[in-house]
Chain A
Amino acid sequence: MKTCFISRLGGAGDVLHASHLPKLIKEFYGVDSIDFETNYYGMHILTGNPYINNLIFIDVNKMTSNRMTKKLEHARETYDLIFDFSNTIEKAYCVNENDQKYYRSEKWRREHLGKISYYDVMTKAAGLPEFYYGTRGRLYYKQEEYEQAQQWINDKHKIYDFVVMINLSGSTLHKKFVQAESVSLKILSRYPKSLIIITGDENCREQVFKHERVISYVGSKSNGFRSVALKCKYVDLNISLESGLILVAHSWDAHALQLLTAASWDNHIKYAKNAYWLQAPVLCSPCHKNPREYFGCPIQANMPSCVYFNEDEIMKIIEDVYDKMSSKQNERRFDECSQAAS
Chain B
Amino acid sequence: MSVAKQLPEIHPFFIYECVLCGRLNRVVVKGIFRNGDKIELHPDMGYAFCNCKDIFYTKPEFILNSVSYEPDKNGTISLPDPFFAWPDPYQFLWWDVRRYLILWDMDSFQDHLIELGYEVLSAVRDFDVHSKTPQHFHIKVKIRGI
Give me the interface of A with B, judged by CB distance under 8 Å. 11-12, 41, 97-100, 102-108, 169-173, 175-176, 200-201, 203-204, 206, 284, 287, 293-299, 301-304
Task: Report the 5 A-B pairs with minimum CB-CB distance, sorted nearest first.
Answer: A296-B51, A302-B6, A203-B2, A296-B49, A169-B2
Convert B74-99 into 0s and 1s, putting 1 for each residue whose CB lies closer than 8 angstroms to a CB of A. 00000000111111000000000000
Q: Do the beta carbons of B107 and A206 come within 8 Å of each other?
A: no
Residues of chain A within 8 A (CB-CB) of B48 are 295-296
Contacting A at CB under 8 A, from B1-38, are 1-7, 9, 23, 25-26, 28
Complex CA–CA separation, A204 to B2 (angstroms): 7
Q: Do the beta carbons of B111 and A105 come within 8 Å of each other?
A: yes
Could you give 10 example pairs across A and B, Cβ below 8 Å? A12-B1, A41-B1, A100-B86, A103-B49, A105-B111, A171-B2, A173-B2, A203-B2, A284-B51, A296-B25
Among A97, A173, A201, point to the contact of B6 (Cβ < 8 A).
A173
Complex CA–CA separation, A203 to B49 (angstroms): 30
Expressed in whole angstroms, the minimum distance between the Cβ of A200 and any Cβ of chain B is 7
Expressed in whole angstroms, the minimum distance between the Cβ of B42 and any Cβ of chain A is 18
Expressed in whole angstroms, the minimum distance between the Cβ of B111 and any Cβ of chain A is 7
> Do A173 and B83 contact each other (CB < 8 Å), given the known contacts A104-B54, A295-B25?
no
Q: Do the beta carbons of A11 and B2 come within 8 Å of each other?
A: no
Residues of chain B at interface, number, CB under 8 A: 28
Residue of A nearest to B109 (CB): A105
Residues of chain B within 8 A (CB-CB) of A107 are 107, 111
Residues of chain B within 8 A (CB-CB) of A304 are 7
> Do A99 and B54 contact each other (CB < 8 Å), given the known contacts A105-B108, A170-B2?
no
> Do A100 and B85 contact each other (CB < 8 Å), given the known contacts A105-B111, A106-B51, A299-B7?
yes
Residues of chain B within 8 A (CB-CB) of A173 are 2-4, 6-7
Residues of chain B within 8 A (CB-CB) of A97 are 28
Residues of chain B within 8 A (CB-CB) of A41 are 1
Residues of chain A within 8 A (CB-CB) of B3 are 171-173, 203
Complex CA–CA separation, A107 to B87 (angstroms): 21
Q: Do the beta carbons of B5 and A206 come within 8 Å of each other?
A: yes
Q: Do the beta carbons of B2 and A303 come within 8 Å of each other?
A: no
Q: Do the beta carbons of B107 and A108 come within 8 Å of each other?
A: yes
Among A102, A106, A297, point to the contact of B86 (Cβ < 8 A).
A102
